[in-house]
Chains A and B, each alone.
Chain A
């Protein structure tokens, strides 16, 4: 409790609060712009936080992460173009609602649902991560190795039919973590004789390439293909609707609506929180699951034609994933998704280490992050409603070509600023190309990112475990490690075991 108060105390500084507010506004904006998202923005802005006070830096980054998923619903409802992948499902019912003349009310429901989901996940983060961290402090090398393994196994387990590509991506990430000086012997590995690679391939330029530069390359490959001005025309239309004197307006949903949507919010938030805590599950799975559950709960409703539950469920679920994806990161050092992984880079450049020791060595920062998620979400409700009313339509008119040049400028400066070395700009470009090749061949980048972050931790703990006992049986002899082996194996085998199990369960249900 004392530590939570410490977090609130730090956040009470007006400059920190203002920075959080700036982050929330920025998050809404990047979420609203198709092609941009929280990962790209955070990756590009991490170098900007170099010179900032850590409290300000994390207030900014948390603010962006809090609100970008919510911002993605703005173009999803108004233009039927999801601003972020997490808003794909919102468009199913959001756009039909807009066509029925309830676009702004739909946006209001989106924002309120996002805030509900966001606050629930901030509370989960606040109460679950310190408990998990205190347990994790008792772990030895075998448990830590298996934790890393579990993180990777969950990503693979969620893969479904394309699991081989996930494995390959993971292998590439694990190899990447071996580049540089070996932690156990001090010898160099895979450096190709380059002094700049002695410290390995740094996370920040890598992430800048994989998110920032990749986003520009994705825009480039589609450039000139759609010369029509559909987006800007629809943005104009949305602007007219905002200023039209009709019954549809941006406002907090009334009591009857809140009462109607409360069960949906609770269900979707629970789904988002559970999936958010699992590394690799992510927002996409949460929004589809939440939407599917609502369809099953309300078989009488016609989802896809403009049902309020159809926008409330995915929005509550995607924001519930946000803070809960930080639970494994803050407590165990395992990022819940790619955006959470970026916080490792941010913590590193401020001299901190993600994981259970963050709560003992830097409790002020750990609790600032946690409290910032809560306050950021509370702040988001009035801000998001005002944003929809006054800024959303203007933001949708921004030209993606000009934005791409801006992103690229920030990427280049950010990568250079990492160690004032053009080599790191080259690293960012190289990883932009790697990301593009992966994208074209349908190879997911999430396992690669996770494995490259966890790889060195896994290697040192794997070697230490073997050194102590000389036998790999150590992983099965210790109870926690053994439990982690079983859970990891279950996740890895799930793509093969899952479908027959589901079929069997379905058959039993229909027989009953």
Chain B
């Protein structure tokens, strides 16, 4: 079995497990609460089995991650979660400056002075709109 085929089987397999998990979860619910999710779980289980079979029978499987920089995607995701973690600790403005600068750098922006200016500018505009104009109580370090 090729690597591409294995990758293609991942999504129906994940949905199959997901459908089974929904069905198992409904066992502890009242009949009324369980009716709809149970129906959904049956649909997911049946369709994911069909999808699994149709993926297995396919002769060719394309490389889904060709020309994809997964490392950059993971770096962006990690930076976003770190952003959430730091939001209440260092405040929205500083946190957004750091996130903006990091994202631009990860995406390959090379002019560091402009990068820094853009990061501060973006954070200032967003902060100004939400905090100043819309009165959203964004977390702040000093204000």
Contacts and interface: CB of A to CB of B under 8 A. Distances in A.
Contacts of A425: 83-84, 87
Q: Give 3 nearest A-B pairs by CB, closest first.
A: A51-B134, A405-B100, A171-B44
A184 B33 contact: yes
A507 interface: no
A475 to B, nearest CB: 13
B141 to A, nearest CB: 15
A410 interface: yes
A410 B51 CA distance: 38
B103 A224 contact: no
B142 interface: no
Interface string A415-444: 011001010011001001100100011110
A223 B72 contact: yes
19 contacts: A174-B43, A182-B33, A217-B73, A220-B75, A402-B109, A404-B103, A405-B101, A405-B118, A405-B119, A406-B125, A409-B125, A409-B126, A412-B96, A413-B136, A417-B134, A442-B64, A459-B36, A462-B36, A463-B32
B68 A221 contact: yes
Contacts of A168: 11-12, 15, 44, 47-48, 51
A414 B131 CA distance: 11
A219 interface: yes
Contacts of B43: 167, 170-171, 174
B100 A408 contact: yes
Interface string A206-232: 000000010011011111110000000
Interface in B93-107: 96, 99-101, 103-104, 106-107
B15 A171 contact: yes
Contact of A220 (B44, B73, B127, B136): B73
Contact of A413 (B22, B36, B68, B138): B138
B27 interface: no
Contacts of B96: 409, 412-413
A175 B77 CA distance: 25
Contacts of A303: none
A175 B109 contact: no
A189 B64 contact: no
A405 B87 contact: no
A399 interface: yes
A219 B92 CA distance: 24
B93 to A, nearest CB: 10
B137 to A, nearest CB: 6
Contact of B92 (A400, A413, A459): A413
A190 interface: yes
A412 B44 CA distance: 32
B2 interface: no
A151 to B, nearest CB: 16
Interface string B105-122: 011110000000011001
A417 B130 contact: yes
Nearest to B8: A441
B126 to A, nearest CB: 4
Given A48-B130, A172-B18, 18 more contacts: A164-B51, A187-B29, A217-B77, A223-B69, A223-B107, A224-B69, A402-B118, A405-B99, A408-B100, A409-B125, A412-B80, A412-B83, A412-B126, A413-B130, A429-B80, A443-B11, A459-B36, A463-B32
A47 B126 CA distance: 12
A432 to B, nearest CB: 8
Contacts of B80: 213, 408, 412, 429, 432
A364 B39 CA distance: 39
Contacts of B130: 47-48, 413-414, 417
A409 B95 CA distance: 10
B37 A399 contact: no
A408 B103 contact: yes
B1 interface: no
Nearest to B75: A220
